[in-house]
Structures are given as structure tokens and as C-alpha cells.
Structure 1
Amino acid sequence: MKRLLVLSTLCVLARLATADAPSADSLINGMEQTLWSDSNHGRFTMRIETQYWTRELELEAWMDRPEKTLVRIHAPRKESGIGSLRIDDAMWNYLPRVDRTIKIPPSMMLQPWMGSNFSNDDLVKESSFVDDYTHEVTGSEQRDGVLVYRVVSTPRPDAPVVWSRLEFLIREDNIPVAMTYYGERDTPVKEMIYSEIDILGGRRIPTRWTMLDADDAQSRTVIEIQSIEFDVPLEDELFTLRRLRNPE
């Protein structure tokens, strides 16, 4: 009788925990809203580290989700003015030293951006976690007194993505902890670590994003958010080839 009582109590607690747990879709959508909102404008530093050299870029970026992104380099001087523009599924890079605008084909979206561990797609967010994947909560754990959910995301059949799956660790307050990208044969290719939670733009967000290469422990790229504004009005003229070439 006692054993039956214990089992029934555990079943009730499990049902209550399931009922209270957020859905996988709400966790992914909440994470995207926390990181980017509907629009944003910010300044960032990107530090690219390898075994043999380190270089740092100063960036400014505008995002009008989900269709438009503009990223521009301000420093160092030799790379100042280089920009990347995405409109829907099209992307262009502008190289001011040769005054040339190059359209990036879909096959190049996973190539490194400026030699970093971030791909073109990572930087301009062509693919959407919400739209291109189906999601499932596969577990949870306590970390530093906060409940963290594990979400496994599988590509939809017609989604233009190459990852076999993605795995997220997302806190109950929608702040991401980590994200792992899996490639062919379901092996990890790279991992994003989110850290240094602070208040910027009126909300709590991770201000340091570290992308790690699974095959090279000494290769990483760290983005640090210097300032950011969310839900700002952005003019359509900003996201044009003319403004890509002529920022003023």
C-alpha cells in the first residue's frame, strides 16, 4: 500500500511538473526575443583567436527581424567600412578598398565571416530557429539556482539549413546558456557559450557570446556587446545597397 501511495504521488508530481514546464516553441521564441527582439541596433567587439594570431574588430549592426540585417566594421582602419547586408534570403558584402559589392550565394552562407568562427548565416541570421526547426524539451536541470531546459531542434523537411540538429540550453527566464550545432553523422561542429549576464537596452541579456570550434580547441571567436537598443524604428532606406556602399 505504501509503495502504491509513493508511486501515485510521483505520478502526480510528474504531471504537475509537465503542466508547469514551458513548451519548446515558447522557449525558443522567448530566447530569440530576448536576444534580438523585433528590431535592434548595437555596437560590438569581435575578437578572433587562433593558435597563431588574434585580431579584434569593432562592429555596428542593425536588425529588422526577420527580413533585414546590416553589419558594418568601424575598426581597425584597414577594414573600416566593410559591410554585410541581408534582405530576405539574399546577402551582399561591400569591400570599400576596391569599391566592390559582392553577392553571397546560398552555398557560401556557412563560410566564415571575416575569418571568424561565425558563419555568414550566424551573423546576419538568414535562418530562423523558430521557423526552420521543430523543437522538443528533452530535460531540465538546476544551474546556480535557475532552472535550465534542454531543447533539441530538428530541421523541418523543406528548411534551407544544413545542421542535422541543434541543442539549446535555455534558462526559465529565456536567457540562453549554450547552443551546439551538429553536422553530418550527428557530430558536434561548434558550440556557442552565452555568459556575462548584464542589463543592456533595458533588459537582462548575456553580453558575451563565445563561438568554439569542436575540432580546434584553440580556435574561438568572442563577441562582446558594448551597447544595444531594442525595438527601435529603423528606416527601410537603411537596408539598401546604396547605404551599404555609402553609410553617410
Structure 2
Amino acid sequence: MKYFISLLFIAFSLHANEAQAIIKKLEKNLRGDYMYSTMSMIVTSKRGKRTVKIESWSEGNDKSFIKILYPKKDKGITFLKIDNQMWQYIPKIERTIKIPPSMMLQSWMGSDFTNDDMVKESSLEEDYSASLLSKKGDFATLELIPKPNAAVVWGKIVIDVDLKKAVPIKEIFYDDMMKKVRIMTFSKIEAHGSHTIPMVMELQPLDPDKKKNRTKVIFEKVNFDTKIDPSYFTKQALKRYSR
């Protein structure tokens, strides 16, 4: 009996190690040392459809700078993220605002993403323990459970992965009561230098009051290879690069 339990434990450990290795490879592929991108975010709700055009610069997982290009009424709004802190500059009132913890779960630019999504960008490898639910050919399904004391909002994430391309196909997010909260799907996989990434991602909330809601992000330009000027990741950049 002890021998059987030992074999089960070894098999579980091997599966856990394999799952962590998959997540590590996926994150390495999706994140470069530097990333510049332009994208369109199409927000659909019961109030209709709107498009937001965005320009973004990031360094690793800790620093990012975002500028709104369109629509005209929002043009020049900028966001700065350093670690887990976030600031916003609004050119119409010439004011820089630090986003307080009480606003972290509010909608970002009217989308289904929240301010918390924009700030946390948690590392799946560092913040979650991964286990392998299934594997068939080049595809696997993983379950991610938050590690103790990890600063994340999800009770768990179930993720389908294309192992050959090291990209996610679908992510299902659960709250701390293990209720499904939202689904993210990824498509149009393209190679950009040494990275292969989904150029389209769509977020669907599962709240009954948001049945018609969808947020689709379409990447238009992506560059992983060019170092970004450090001046983008300063509070002075919020106003300077707003123009």
C-alpha cells in the first residue's frame, strides 16, 4: 500500500513539474524584455459598440506606459504602471491622478477589463501552482491555484495551451467561491521575431447582467526587439507624452 501511495505521489510531482514547465515556457514566449504595440480595443455592451485605439510601451512585467489615441474625447489620456501602482493623466483638466485601491475593480476605459487587470499583470509562474488536468498531442489543459499570500483576485484559472506554439487558447477565471466569472479566448497566432503571440483576444464576462458584453483587443503592431527609452516609465512621462 505504501509503495502504491509513493507511486501516486511521484506521478503527481511529475505532472506538477511538467505543468510548471509549460507555464514557464508560455510566459517566456509572451513576454519580452521590452514590448511596443498598437492595438484597437472594441467594447460591446447593451449601450452599443465603441472602439478605443491604444499605444503601449512595457519593460518586463513591472513597468508599462499606455496612451489613448482615439476616440477624440479621450485622446492623450495616459496611464503609467510601476510595480503594483498606477497613475492616470487627464489632459482636459491637466491633472495626474493616482488610482486608489478602492477603484481597482472599476472598469478600465469602459471595457470588461478592470484597473486591477492593468496593474497586477500577475505572473502565472510566480503567483500560481500549476497542475496538469489533461494532455493530448500538442494541447494541454492546466489548473492554476494561487500560492499562499499571492496578491491575486482569482480563486483559480483553467487554461488551455497550444504546447507547440507556447500560447494560450482559452482561459477560464473563477472567483474565490469557485464560480466561473469570465472567459478569455485567443486567436490569430503570429510570429514576431523570436516570439509567437495571439494577435486577437476576447474577454467575455459571465455576469447575467452583462450578457451582451464583450471586449476584443486586436494587436496591430508588435515589436519585442527594440529597447524602450526609460523616460517612458516616469511620472513626468504622463504629461510629456500625452501630446
Please classify the TM superposition score into its range, dividing by the shorter chain length.
0.7 to 0.9
Corresponding position: 1:109 with 2:104 = yes
- Pick from 23, 32, 46: which aligns with 1:28? 23
Under a length normalisation based on structure 2, what TM-score does the superposition of the two structures give?
Answer: 0.86
Matched residues in 2 for 1:220 and 1:57: separation?
14
Runs of 4+ in structure 1 deviating by more than 4 angstroms, as ranges, are: 18-22
- 1:4 aligned partner: none
Contact residue 201 and residue 227 of structure 1 kept, 8 A? no
Matched residues in 2 for 1:187 and 1:71: separation?
32
Identity %: 32
RMSD: 2.3
1:183-238 CA deviation, whole Å, 9 max, x = no partner? 13201111110011223455432110000011233101000000100142122211
* Structure 2 unmatched ranges of 5 or more: 1-10
SS at match of 1:233: coil
Q: In structure 2, do the counterparts of structure 1 residues 21 and 245 end up closer, same or farther at CA, with 3 Å as the change threshold? A: same
Contact residue 146 and residue 154 of structure 2 kept, 8 A? yes
- Pick from 192, 196, 200: which aligns with 1:204? 196
Contact residue 15 and residue 131 of structure 2 kept, 8 A? no
- Which residue identity does 2:200 align to in structure 1? R
SS at match of 2:231: helix
The number of aligned residues is 229
SS at match of 2:65: strand
- 1:27 CA drift (Å): 1.7
Corresponding position: 1:79 with 2:90 = no
1:32-80 CA deviation, whole Å, 9 max, x = no partner? 2222222200100000001231110110111111210111100111100
Q: Does 41-50 or 21-30 show the bigger shift? A: 21-30
Greater RCO, 1 or 2 (C-alpha within 8 Å, sep 6+): 2
Matched residues in 1 for 2:193 and 2:119: separation?
20
Matched residues in 1 for 2:49 and 2:65: separation?
25
- Which residue identity does 2:163 align to in structure 1? E
Structure of larger gyration radius: 1
Matched residues in 1 for 2:169 and 2:121: separation?
22
- Which residue identity does 2:224 align to in structure 1? F
- 2:84 aligned partner: 89
Matched residues in 1 for 2:93 and 2:77: separation?
11
Q: In structure 2, do the counterparts of structure 1 residues 111 and 231 end up closer, same or farther at CA, with 3 Å as the change threshold? A: farther
Contact residue 166 and residue 180 of structure 1 kept, 8 A? yes
